[in-house]
Every structure is written in C-alpha cells, then in structure tokens.
Amino acid sequence: MICTRSIKKAVFAALGMAFFASAANSQMPGTVPQPIAQTSAPALDTSRLAREATGWLAELIKINTTNPPGNEEQAAKYLAGILGKEGIKAELLPLVPGRSALVARLNASAFPDPSKAILLVAHMDVVGVERSRWTVDPFGALPKDGYIYGRGAVDDKGMLAANLAAFIALKRANARLNRDVIFLATASEEGAGDASIRAVIAKYWDKIAAKYSINEGGNVFVANGKVQYVAVQASEKVSLNVTVKANGTSGHASIPLKDNAVFHLAAAVEKIGNFTAPVHLTTIVRRYFEGLAALEDNEIGKWMRSLDTGDRGDHAARVVADANPMWNAMMRDTISPTMLTAGVRPNVIPSEASATLNIRLLPGNTITALLAELNKVVNDPQVKLDVQPDGGLAAPDSSLESEFYAAITKAAAEEFAGAPVLPFQSTWATDSAQLRLHNVQAYGLVPFPLTQEDIKRMHGDDERISAAAFAKGVSLMVRLTNEFATSH
Ligand SMILES: [Zn+2]
C-alpha cells in the first residue's frame, strides 16, 4: 500500500511546487527534512501554474461565447488544444451545430469506474453584455489594477480555467490516482435548451458518469479584507416562469374602459408584490444559519439561532429576512416580476397585457400549491396565471456526510486559514441539479475569494477577477483534486 502523503509529495515535487507538511507526519525515513510551515495545514505553491492558467483564462474570455447563440464549440476546441499539448486526449461532444461540450479524463485504472469518479464541471457560455456600460472591452481580458476584466472572468471561465489547471496538474505530476478524474466543460448553462447539460446527460452519460462532482454554485465570501466563510452548495432552489395574463375589451383610448387589461394586470402584479410565501427552513438552510450565527454580530446571530423557536421564530425570520435579501430568498419561495408586455399603439386600448414572474421554489415545494395561493391573492376573473414549460426540476440534496463533502471542507479550511465552511442552498440554479437527479453527489464552490463588489459584477458590468483571488482558487482546486483523487 502506498502512503498518500508520499504520493502527494511526489505530485508536488513533479509539479515544481513547494509542499510543506506538518512536523508530525512529514518525515519519511531517509528523506531530507522539509521546511516546517506555521500551521498544521500543508501549504503549497501553485503560483507558476496559476500564472499559466491566467493566460488560459484570458484566451477563454477573448472567445466570445455569449449565449445566445453560445458558440461554445470554439472554446471547446481551444480547451482541446491545451489538453492535447499535455498529452491528454479530449473529446468534443456535439450537441447542436456550433455548440459542443468537451470531456477529458484521467483514469485510475484500465477501465473507467464511475462508482468512485469525480467530475470537474464548469460552463463555457456567458451572459450578454450592455457594451455601452462597460469601461473596458468585455472580451479583451484586460489586466488592470491587479484584476483581469472580462465577461466570464468569474462566471464561469474563471472556474473553467482553475479546473483545467487542477486537471493538468494531476497529469503533469503523473499522480497515482485512486479515482477517475473527469474534466467537463458544458455549454448553454445560461440558457438551457438542446445544448445544455440535460442534453449531455441524455446523449453522453457514459462519458461523464461519476459519483461526485464539483461545479459553480457556492462562494468564498470575503468581508473586511478576509475570508468570512466558505459556502459549499449542496442544494439549490428551482426556477420556473409563470405568465400572468390579463384580458379586457380593446378600443379607442379616448374612451377609457374599466376593464382595461393594463389596469387589471398592474393590480394583479401589485397584489403579488405584497404577497410573501411562508418561511420553511430546509435542513441545509438550517445548518447554514447555525454556522453563520457564530460569525455574525451578536444581534443578528441571536436571531439566526432563534429561527426555529415557535412564535419567537416568526419574529426572528422577519429580522433575518429584512437584514439580507439573499437570506430572505433562502427561507421561502420567492417571486420576481421580470417582464411586462402590453399594447400596440399609444392610442389603442389593448385587449391583452401580460407579465412574466420568475419564481424560485424551495426544493420540496410545488408550483401547484404556490399558484393556488397566488390565484387567491389576485382574485380577478380577468387575470389568468399559467406555468411556462421547461421549468427547472427539483433535485435531491447532496449529502453533507459524503467523503467528498468532507474533502472539500478540509481543503477549503486549509486554503483559507481555517475559515468556517458552511453548507449552502443557492437561490440560483446550476447544472448540478441535473447531476443530482442522476445520483451524482454534486457540490458547488466557485473557488475564488470574492468581495460583495466582485460578486455583484457577475452578470453585471465590468465583471472582473483579481489575480490574487484567481491564484487562490487555482491553489484550492489543485489541493482538493489531488488530495481526493489520490485518496482511497
Ligand atoms: Zn455560471
């Protein structure tokens, strides 16, 4: 049997990385004494690899994969080229013309073994930009003030490049794997449809089947210049769209009508705006607040600890929900009106007006139950609510007791100087729900320490990642994949 620590040393040595182990267990007979780090956690130097990966990130940003149309095949070919140079055969997985996913694997033995395998997932497509609001070229990957600017710098080309670095590091080190490691770059995460992970699973499941996965979804939250906590996504809310349609009599705008569809739609939307779904704490959200209570100031921490205590709990939920819109959204079904449509001309009363509601359900809650509530609230025979097709599916939670969750917790705590690691239920949807529906224990963690300011720019203007944060993320992914893939 091989000592995993000696493998790790070999891995890091071969990578040209410094690896400092704790005094208690670093000394193998006959080895040269190693420098001793200050903490018990092993430190490793992946700075050279991170610089190389920064170049890959910049090239990926320059390939415009705005979805729609996506055009991910170009990014997939670029990745295949990088992997090819490392002697890794990558495979394009065609989905629709111009859009492919990409898969590559390092196997532990002659035959693939999904029962232990780990899948590194990131998506290649990005959301669009409002070019006039950017101060730099969104596809220029401009380095400025210690940051790299560009659409996708964080979401999700940053993680794509970090995953690639961790994957290539294993190959370069010729690491003795005890699990297959699969690198997967997905398409159309920002848009679903025929090029999404759903299609990859339907067509190519045998190429990506794994027991565990890591993907975007959770975050390393920075406050006051240090990592406050690491949130590992193990569950996510379910996204659905509902159309609210009001009908009325059309006519000449010079003769107002009481049944004007616009009045009825506006009234319905207002009533929906005043509706608040009840609080329900899922297991993961309860665990999240338990952990967070210890980190927040006494006042809010006290209310977080009281969330589950009968009448006092109701008041506590109000205080916590009011303190932070994300906390509110983690505790209940939510509704955001996002689109309004009415009218053809300024002087014509339209016969129809409609709104789109984006609804995020807690896993386990049903849209039928929520719609019944909303219909009661709206209570207007001129207004109808209909669920749009292609809504998200509720997936089971990933286990908080799995060996991979433990490995993520350990690696993150080591990387971020003992920062607490909390389980997280994201309010946003990710590709991981589809994986969870296929019995993959899927976890979400964008590995970069990000400030609120950086997080706000995802999907916004002037998206950027600091070179230092990117390097930390690369280091975390190298640490995690190496430790877990070489473990038994
Ligand atoms: Zn994303």
Is the pLDDT assigned to residue 227 strictly greater than 90? yes
Distance (angstroms) between ligand 1 centre and the Cα of 216 equals 6
* pLDDT tens readout for residues 325-346: 999 999 999 999 999 999 999 9
pTM attached to this predicted model: 0.89
Distance (angstroms) between ligand 1 centre and the Cα of 192 equals 12
Distance (angstroms) between ligand 1 centre and the Cα of 319 equals 30
The torsion defined by the Cα of 246, 247, 251 and 252, in degrees rounded to 10, comes to: 0
Distance (angstroms) between ligand 1 centre and the Cα of 9 equals 34
The mean pLDDT of 263-276, rounded to a whole number, is: 98
Pick the range with the lowest mean pLDDT from 65-74, 113-122, 172-181, 305-314: 305-314
Give the per-residue pLDDT at 271. Answer: 98
The mean pLDDT of 461-473, rounded to a whole number, is: 97
Over the chain, what is the mean pLDDT? 91
Buried b (16+ CB within 10 A) or exposed e, 367-397: beebbeebeeebeeebbebebeeebbebbeb
Of 40, 51, 68, nearest in space to 17 by CA: 51
Distance (angstroms) between ligand 1 centre and the Cα of 165 equals 18
Q: Are 150 and 138 spatial neighbours (Cβ–Cβ below 8 Å)?
A: yes
Residues whose CB is under 5 A from ligand 1 (ion)? 155-156, 216
- Answer positive or negative: Cα dihedral of 193, 196, 201, 203: positive
Distance (angstroms) between ligand 1 centre and the Cα of 237 equals 15
The mean pLDDT of 358-364, rounded to a whole number, is: 97
Distance (angstroms) between ligand 1 centre and the Cα of 155 equals 5
Is the pLDDT assigned to residue 36 strictly greater than 70? no
Buried b (16+ CB within 10 A) or exposed e, 463-476: bbbbbebbbbbbbb
* pLDDT tens readout for residues 155-172: 999 999 999 999 999 999
Of 404, 478, 409, nearest in space to 441 by CA: 404
* pLDDT tens readout for residues 172-214: 999 999 999 999 999 999 987 899 999 999 999 999 999 999 9
Is the pLDDT assigned to residue 40 strictly greater than 80? no
Distance (angstroms) between ligand 1 centre and the Cα of 156 equals 5
Is the pLDDT assigned to residue 240 strictly greater than 60? yes
* pLDDT tens readout for residues 365-390: 999 999 999 999 999 999 999 999 98
Q: Name, in order, each residue with C-beta under 8 angstroms of 26's C-beta and a sequence gap of 6 or more.
A: 5, 20, 34, 36
Distance (angstroms) between ligand 1 centre and the Cα of 116 equals 26
Distance (angstroms) between ligand 1 centre and the Cα of 26 equals 39
Give the per-residue pLDDT at 374. Answer: 98
Is the pLDDT assigned to residue 80 strictly greater than 70? yes
Give the per-residue pLDDT at 43. Answer: 55
* pLDDT tens readout for residues 282-325: 999 999 999 999 999 889 999 999 998 878 888 999 999 999 99
Distance (angstroms) between ligand 1 centre and the Cα of 105 equals 22
Distance (angstroms) between ligand 1 centre and the Cα of 210 equals 21
Q: Are 118 and 214 spatial neighbours (Cβ–Cβ below 8 Å)?
A: yes
> Which one has a higher pLDDT value, 398 or 314?
398
Q: Are 408 and 214 spatial neighbours (Cβ–Cβ below 8 Å)?
A: yes
Task: Tell me how far apart the terminal alpha carbons of the chain are, to the nearest angstrom.
Answer: 10
Pick the range with the lowest mean pLDDT from 72-86, 117-131, 181-195, 327-341: 181-195
The mean pLDDT of 134-146, rounded to a whole number, is: 97
Q: Are 106 and 201 spatial neighbours (Cβ–Cβ below 8 Å)?
A: no
